[in-house]
Structure 1
Amino acid sequence: MSEAFRGQDSAIAVVGVSCRLPRAAGPAGFWALLRDGLDGISSTPADRWGVAAVDSGSPALGAGYGGYLSGVDQFDAGFFGISPREAAAVDPQQRLTLELGWEALEDAGVVPERVRGNRVGVFIGANKDDYATVARRRGVEGITEHSTTGLQRGMIANRVSYVFGLTGPSITVDTAQSSSLVAVHLACESLRRGECSSAIVGGVVLNLSAEAAVELSRFGALSPDGRCFTFDARANGFVRGEGGAVVVLKPLGQALADGDHVYCVIRGSAVNHDGVSEGLTVPSASAQEEVIRFAHERAGVQAADIQYVELHGTGTKVGDPIEAAALGAAVGRPRRAHGPLRVGSVKTNIGHLEGAAGIAGLLKVVLAIYHRQIPASLNFRQASPWVRLEEQNLQVQTQTAGWPEPGRPLVAGVSSFGMGGANCHVVVSEVTDPEVAEGVRLGGPVGSAPWALPLSARSARALGEQAMRLRAFVTEQLELSVPDVAWTLATARSVFAHRAVVVTADVDGLLAGLQDLAGLQDPAGLQDLAGLRDVDASSVVRGVAAGAAG
């Protein structure tokens, strides 16, 4: 492994994550779905299209499967300072991206209000605007003063920058299915050039119109079985998915200096185009091979360093063999001495998110590195005779397991290819220096209990709901320490008008206090802070801890 790989000058840290994906309301739920080998595919909700099926013979509507989110029409407009009238005209993709951006900043330990006016970039991949189709069904009577800003796809990133008050680059990227991974590439380059100090990066797609489903059906892209059979002999198209994911990126050196929690590191990336191929939508194996090699060069890695690649992996008869040949030439065959290269596709779990597919694949790899396990790629029984896995030295990961060579740095690739020929590949790794990695994983204060854990919300009901969500999270993460939770709540969360604090010495007490708060009761361990509008919550934590110690 080259010295370039070990340097921090060009490495970009992933310091925060968020997602809303089929059967996965957040990163913890997404990891559970992946780890347990489940999928989020279901029947299409009866009311999803909002119109009668316009083509009863279409496999897209006849099969009736997809990866769907629930409650896509729900949005707390007041939380983001948007009027109900304007919110009704705003594409739910804009609304979902606002929510994901807020959650990702919080996961990064960043209070959104504190970055207002800062040079933070926003890069969002999106290639669909179904809500515009739905809105225009109402004719000119449905057009309002908010339609222009509500329906333009370019406003997805701009809306985040405006609401959060961010002054860095603000770009909605559309390179078809590779949009969100190209957004990651552009964000990393912007960070390296110093155009922004950190970046909110992701992708979003919501499947809201019957017309879009019919388009894909008539194009011949959809599987009549409603599943993605990546690299399998049954491969016959993909099933559609929807949702979004966002990561917060920062130069590694700055992240370490700031004491940030680092999930993993983006070492390098590359983009290119197929040029002339056998058709506008026919991939080029040579171009895919080239973009992978160029990404390796930028990252300072060799084929032997790569232990896993998250495929574009749509499960199509044309695309799968071409991708396998390109990956075999660039990585699989050159690393034969280290055993077969493990590969998989998140599309088998959640469907093809098109413009948001790349960020979903990246998030899968981020979590796989963080948890030091590679999840199974589903729906694989027998390789397609055209994929030739053994010849290419590739092996589909069919069970969740540890990394093949856990004693070596965990390094993976992520591929995303647009149907028009725009290709992107990203190289991701763990933080390699043992001391740095240990320092990153440790965090927050240490000391004696009891600790004060403050919560706040814009309403009493929201305060109770937040307590329920936190309780569910703590229940699944019982290894968390109370001081760490207290420190995060006190220093990395916004402060709103409705407030409460749970004072406890241990996890059991925290769970009990959150249960009481969820029921809006008034137990002895719960103190109302609603009147302390200007209080610094971190000083409350330090004060309680000091009192306990004294």
Structure 2
Amino acid sequence: MQDSELAAQSRPYQPIAIVGIGCRFPGGVSSPLDFWTLLTGQVDGTSEVPPDRWSIDKYYDPDPKRIGKVYTKRGGFIKGISGFDPQFFGISQREVAYVDPQHRLLLETTWEAFEDAGIAPRTWSDRKVGVFVGLFTHDYENIHMRVSERPIHGPHSATGVSTTIAANRLSYAFGFTGPSMVIDTACSSSLVALHLACRSLHEKESELAIAGGVNLQLLPEMTMSLCKATMLAPDGRCKSFDARANGYARADGAAMVVLKTLERAQADGDPIYAVIMGSADQDGRTQGMTVPNGEAQQIVMKDALTLADVTPSQISYVEAHGTGTPVGDPIEANALGTVLRSNDPDRDPCVIGSVKSNFGHTESAAGIAGLIKVALMQRHGYIPPNLHFETPNPNIPFEELRLRVPTALEEWRTGADGRRLAGINSFGFGGTNAHVVLANAPVPQVQAAARGDGDQAHLVLLSARSENALKANARRHSDFLRSEQSAAVTLADVSAALALGREHHPMRLAVAGRTPTEIADLLDGFAAGQRRQGVISGAVVNAGAAGIVFVCSGMGQQ
């Protein structure tokens, strides 16, 4: 081992703050708010395969031995993946047809993660921002590289579908100059990407980092291969830790998170979802290439706990890999129980769950999906129920392992030290495992003012690249102001975030009001094409940076 590695290990782990989230998942999830609504509403986001992916009638057959067929009709699918505004990201109409939809989703979710953090991306242009992306499947590349597609190959074919460009395109579009890489460890890709992002922040090679993953099912061939390996559930649902567990459901997913060191996030006054206390990854030999190794799973968890300076019994929740396979679930549960009760055999049962029960296994985006779920749990202080859990798997001794699966929404209490501590597992079918320890965010040093309608007027500023986009933006913010989630912030918070934490595009809208309801009504009116007092809109004639002008008027008569 090199001296630099020994020195790095001897330094205490520097906590990393999650300050922004952008996500798209099955079940209509296009924001952290949507995700939390799906989780607490016990929504099953799976569906039958949409006709724009592949034909069920052509490819479905319940017999797993049939060649060229799939034995499942369901999975988790993101709607509207063909919709994309290329000019917003500086991509020409000619080029965009060649760009993998996975790259497009990464651009969108990265932008949304910065907006969620209240950070204008341009303020980090030409700075050391690290980009770490997990990506596993290559359906669009496979489509474009068919023999039949050769006549339409063009100058953007190579960059449009290249794996490495998935990360490099983000660095190029946003002007980031830090490390930029794609990680493929199969289903653990995005959590390994997060682990590397944290290390980059520790080593100060990045001032800020973005990490996540993406997965889209565009062709039936990968599903065919997994059916031949009998890895998939015929009913297209993940029944994690249940006696009926018989495989997983494949799912789309795309998500990115914005990361800073906790010290920097607090100094910058950033909103913090949760804090990464420790992370680790490892690989090793097993009885078979795709057979889980319980001992290896224990090792990676112990390593992360050691880095986080956390004892096993302090962990009160684990977001498990939990694919719902008859082999994998018992091995993972046994590994969890062995580690979590190692310092206290009679500890309170640790709650375990898996977001895969909600919308399937997002494969290279699975780890980041689990991380975001737990980050939202930390922010709200509740544990959502695990779906499709009816009869505990008889091969898992839950009581002996001191584990339990939640079946209803329950409060997540802090420990004696005021912390809620959780673990997140993510395993690749080739053997690369990752584990992250996540804690609740520290209480802000300056508490927000109590929410009240009062008499003070606040200015809400919105912008977009077109009038239609501006109207859509107005409707989206109106929905937020009317939602329960808006109760957590003041109008002053909203006004400041929109004025200081957003890019300002040519089409502008300014709305003044004293209450959330008043502003929401004005936004709805604008979106409907109405003219109302307290609303001003228009287009910027010259959006370039204006120079400073000094006016020396003398006595004023000149």
- 1:517 equivalent in structure 2: 526
User: In structure 2, how many angstroms separate the alpha carbons of the residues matched to 1:218 and 1:411?
Assistant: 39
Correspondence for 1:40: 45
Higher deviation after alignment, 470-479 or 280-289: 470-479
**Distance 1:169-1:445 versus aligned 2 partners, 3 A rule:** farther
| Equivalent residues in 2 for 1:408-427, closer than 5 Å | 408-427=418-437
Unaligned ranges ≥5, structure 2: 1-10, 546-558
The amino acid of 1:467's aligned partner reads A
Deviations 1:23-53 (A, max 9, x none): 2121101001101211201111123127983
- Matches of residues 375-414 of structure 1 in structure 2 within 5 Å? 375-405=384-414, 408-414=418-424
Tell me the residue number matched to 1:367.
376
Q: Distance in 2 between matches of 1:404 and 1:104?
A: 28
Hey, which of these two has a bigger chunk of helix by percent? 1
- Please tell me the root mean square deviation across aligned C-alpha atoms, in Å: 2.3
1:443/1:113 CA distance change after superposition, 3 Å: farther
Counterpart contact for 1:456–1:463, Cα < 8 Å: yes
Contact 1:104 1:247 in 2 (8 A): yes
**Corresponding pairs, count:** 526
Q: Does 1:255 find its partner at 2:262?
A: no
CA distance in 2, matches of 1:133, 1:404: 48
Deviations 1:471-515 (A, max 9, x none): 111111341322111111100111111111001111121111110
Does residue 506 in structure 1 map to residue 515 in structure 2? Answer: yes
Q: Distance in 2 between matches of 1:336 and 1:516?
A: 61
Q: Which is further off, 184-193 or 387-396?
A: 387-396
Query: Residues 314 and 415 of structure 2 are in contact (CA less than 8 Å); yes or no, is this contact kept in structure 1?
Result: no
Q: Spell out, residue by residue over 1:186-210, the C-alpha distance to the aligned partner (whole angstroms, 9 max, x if none).
A: 0000000001001111110011011
SS in 1 for 2:517: helix
Rounded Cα–Cα distance in structure 2 between residues aligned with 1:73 and 1:359: 23
Aligned residue in 2 for 1:144 = 154
Aligned partners of 1:257 and 1:443: how far apart in 2? 19
CA 1:533/1:454 → structure 2, altered by over 3 Å: closer, same or farther?
Answer: farther
Secondary structure, counterpart of 2:257 in structure 1: strand
Cα gap change, 1:143/1:535 in structure 2, threshold over 3 Å: closer, same or farther? closer
**Is residue 10 from structure 1 mapped to residue 10 from structure 2 by the alignment?**
no
Secondary structure at the counterpart of residue 434 of structure 2: strand
Matched residue SS, 2:460: strand
Following superposition of structure 1 onto structure 2, how do residues 192-231 of structure 1 map, counting pairs within 5 Å? 192-231=202-241
TM-score by length of 2: 0.90
- Aligned equivalents of 1:478 and 1:164: distance in 2? 29
Q: Secondary structure at the match of 1:438?
A: coil
Q: Shift of the alpha carbon at 1:440?
A: 6.7
Q: Given residue 268 of structure 1, which amino acid in structure 2 is its aligned partner?
A: G
SS at match of 2:259: strand
Q: Secondary structure at the match of 1:124?
A: strand
1:462 aligns with 2:469: yes
User: How far has the Cα of 1:235 moved from its partner?
Assistant: 0.6
Q: Give the Cα–Cα distance (whole angstroms) in 1 for the partners of residues 252 and 40 of structure 2.
A: 20
Query: Are the counterparts in 2 of residues 444 and 483 from structure 1 also a CA contact under 8 Å?
Result: no
The TM-score normalised by the length of structure 1 is 0.91
Look up the match of 1:490.
499
Residue 134 of structure 1: aligned partner: 143
Letter aligned with residue 138 of structure 2: D
Structure 1 residue 72: deviation in Å? 0.7
d(CA) in 1 for partners of 2:316, 2:447: 23
Helix, strand or coil at the partner of 1:307: strand
Alpha-carbon distance in 2 for matches of 1:445, 1:118:
36
1:528 is displaced (CA, Å) by 2.3
Map 1:232-311; keep pairs closer than 5 Å: 232-273=242-283, 275-311=284-320
**How big is each residue's C-alpha offset from its partner over 1:424-473, in whole Å with a ceiling of 9 and x where there is no partner?**
000000134xxxx1337638999962111111111111100100111111
The aligned counterpart of 1:353 is: 362
CA distance in 2, matches of 1:404, 1:58: 47
Q: What is the CA–CA distance in structure 1 between the aligned matches of 2:114 and 2:446, rounded to whole Å? A: 17
2:310 aligned with 1:325, yes or no? no
Query: Unaligned stretches of 5+ in structure 1?
Result: 1-6, 537-550
Contact 2:131 2:167 in 1 (8 A): yes
Shift of 1:406: 5.5
